[in-house]
Amino acid sequence: MMSIEPPPAHVLPLPTAESSGDELFRMGLLYSTGQGGAPVDYVSAHMLFNLAAMRGSVEAKVYRKELSQEMASEDVAEAQRAAREWLAHG
């Protein structure tokens, strides 16, 4: 009997140390809206918007602020920790 394998899972882009502010912003949009097969994940979106803002994306600053108003303070803190970790290891 022939087995049928499921199609490979959709691979989402991951930020690299070379990612520009615009690239990080677009990744943040994926997680904040669930576009492109991404799960809606506000912590990841906030982290990406934070990194994008640090790399000069003005749009990311606006989105980060709006998103943080919809998040629990603990989740914002988690996103900020994740951004710091990414900077330390990215």
> pLDDT tens digit string along 27-53?
999 999 998 888 999 999 999 999 999
pLDDT exceeds 80 at position 3: no
In the chain, % of residues over pLDDT 70: 84
At position 36, the amino acid (one-letter code) is G
Quote the radius of gyration of the chain (alpha carbons, Å): 15
Say whether pLDDT at 83 is over 90: yes
Q: How far apart are CA 52 and CA 55, in angstroms?
A: 5
Element (H, E) at 11: none
Select the more confidently predicted residue: 10 or 68: 68
Kindly give, in sequence order, each residue whose CB lies less than 8 Å from that of residue 33, ignoring residues fewer than 6 positions away.
Answer: 40
